[in-house]
Amino acid sequence: MASPAPHGVPEGRGDPAVPPDLADLLRAQLEGVADEVEEEVRRQVPEYARPADGTYREHLRAGVVQALTLFVDHIADPRGRGEAIAATYYELGRGEALEGRSLDALQSALRVGGLHAWRLMGRTAEELGLDTAVVTALGELAFRTVHEVAEAAAAGYSEARAQHTDELERRRRRLLDLLLGDGPVAPAAVQDLAHGARWSVPKQVAVVALAATPDQRVEEWPLATAGALVDMDSRPPRMLIPDPDGSGRSGSRAFGLALRGRPAAIGPTVPVAEAAHSLRWAVRALGLMGRGLLPRQGVVRCADHLSTLLLHSDEPMLGRLRARALAPLDAVSEGQRERLAETLLAWLLSGSNVPEVATRLHVHPQTVRYRLRQLDKVFGEALHDPGARLDLILALTTAQKNEEFLNSRP
């Protein structure tokens, strides 16, 4: 791809002009100057000082020669733009980005090389007896040359980084879709996609289901979490966290802050191949948060609410359990029903300890005994059957969180 035309480059003033004949003389010295400039760059810029392989050394050499050629071309034609050479540096910048390196080393090499080349060629001008104005003009041309090639390299680097980031995001999205899909997850497929997405495959993961917002503004998206795979376009938005109980620390305060106040549910920690199970439970917990059966705000960890999740994993079955276990309460008035249900649950959870029930309900122990006599008439032997007691605890616990259930019974 051709590089964009440089902008903001100092223009040659035209007076005093550098003698065009100097260009021929300097061009004849170009290879020797390139040797010295290359050596100076390797000496001063650590990234270029390493023992270079053939390809890397060729790229460094080509870059030096191209920049010096552009410099000499500007002497021959101060108005020349040097698009072909700028395109070379554009590709050099792209190459640095694609190799995952910083642009700093290349920019440092340009500064070091440009300064050294100016000194060498300026010395030649002085040896020829050219006046200081010409040497100054050479300095301006050197600055212009460095500016042009540095700008071209930066443009290539920026475009490659943008393209690389987009491609990396696409690969990570495919990886996330594989891990959270319905089908079986083949370890070889995960490793292959993870390699292309530059993602280290952890042993364990957890999936976070995030509460959706009406407009999904980018500025409200969660902050980047190390190693997380994120899909904010799904419904609900989801995030896969590697090593959540270790370095991922999904339960930390910092993690909650990274969500920017967005309510979220964190699924259980599972092996990476079972990430879809963690997502399923996280989505279920998020739904219960919306209904008020789990805390509506903040971050809810499924691991802290396993019994609630289990009870609500089959709502129709849970409804049948409640209807059967609490059917005897249909025989009492609506006003009595709620008080008796509250007393019965407290009694079952306290191990039949009347004083404890009274303290919990803020009533007199005699009131508790009165209600228990009523309950004994309503439920009979079921109050003393272990299986029936368990059903009553489950039914009353979930009914308490669904107050409309008790209030709507006939």
Q: 78: which 2 tokens?
A: 């101060």
Q: What is the mean pLDDT of residues 117-143?
A: 75
What interhelical angle do 30-44 and 21-28 show, nearest 10? 60
Least confident of 185-189, 219-223, 316-320, 349-353: 219-223
DSSP 298-311: SEEEGGG-HHHHHH
Which pLDDT score is estimated for 249? 62
Q: 26: which 2 tokens?
A: 């300097």
For 210, the enclosing helix (H) or strand (E) is strand 204-210
**20 prior amide bond cis, ω within 30:** no
Q: What is the mean pLDDT of residues 96-109?
A: 75
Give 262's contacts (C-beta < 8 A, 6+ positions apart): 210, 211, 213, 220, 222
Q: 313: which 2 tokens?
A: 């994993």
Decide if pLDDT at 9 tops 60: no
Decide if pLDDT at 75 tops 80: no
* Residue owning tokens 């508790």: 368
3-state DSSP of 322-382: HHHHCHHHHHCCHHHHHHHHHHHHHHHHCCCCHHHHHHHHCCCHHHHHHHHHHHHHHHHHH
CA distance 215 to 195: 34
CA distance 378 to 333: 12
CB neighbourhood size of 66 (10 A): 20
Least confident of 36-45, 56-65, 108-117, 316-325: 56-65
Which pLDDT score is estimated for 364? 93
For 317, the enclosing helix (H) or strand (E) is helix 315-325
Measured CA distances, 202 to 171, 192, 196, 289, 354 (Å): 17, 14, 15, 29, 52
Residue bearing the bigger pLDDT, 113 or 60: 113
Decide if pLDDT at 49 tops 60: yes
Express each pLDDT in 232-267 by its tens digit. 888 888 999 998 887 556 555 667 667 777 888 999
Q: 152: which 2 tokens?
A: 């071209």
Decide if pLDDT at 280 tops 90: yes
- Reported as a pLDDT band with limits 50, 70 and 90, residue 12 is very low
- Reported as a pLDDT band with limits 50, 70 and 90, residue 169 is confident
Least confident of 43-52, 92-101, 389-398: 43-52
Q: Which one-letter amino acid corresponds to residue 135?
A: V
Q: What is the mean pLDDT of residues 262-273?
A: 91
CA distance 18 to 75: 6
**16 prior amide bond cis, ω within 30:** yes
DSSP 110-137: HHHHHHHHHHHHHHHHHHTT--HHHHHH
- Reported as a pLDDT band with limits 50, 70 and 90, residue 222 is low
> Mean pLDDT over all residues of the chain?
79
Which pLDDT score is estimated for 151? 86
Length of the chain: 410
Residue bearing the bigger pLDDT, 156 or 126: 156
For 265, the enclosing helix (H) or strand (E) is strand 264-266
Are 33 and 40 in contact by the 8 Å Cβ rule? The answer is: no
Of the ranges 35-44, 83-92, 112-121, 228-237, the best mean pLDDT one: 228-237
Q: What is the CA radius of gyration of the chain?
A: 37
CA-nearest of 407, 402, 393 to 344 is 393
For 241, the enclosing helix (H) or strand (E) is strand 238-242
CB neighbourhood size of 394 (10 A): 17
Which pLDDT score is estimated for 156? 82
Domains and CATH numbers, the chain: 21-165 (1.10.490), 203-311 (3.30.70), 322-407 (1.10.10)
State the first-to-last Cα distance of the chain, in angstroms, to the nearest integer: 77
Decide if pLDDT at 195 tops 60: yes
Helix, strand, coil percentages for the chain (3-state, nearest 5): 65, 5, 30
Q: 13: which 2 tokens?
A: 């003033």
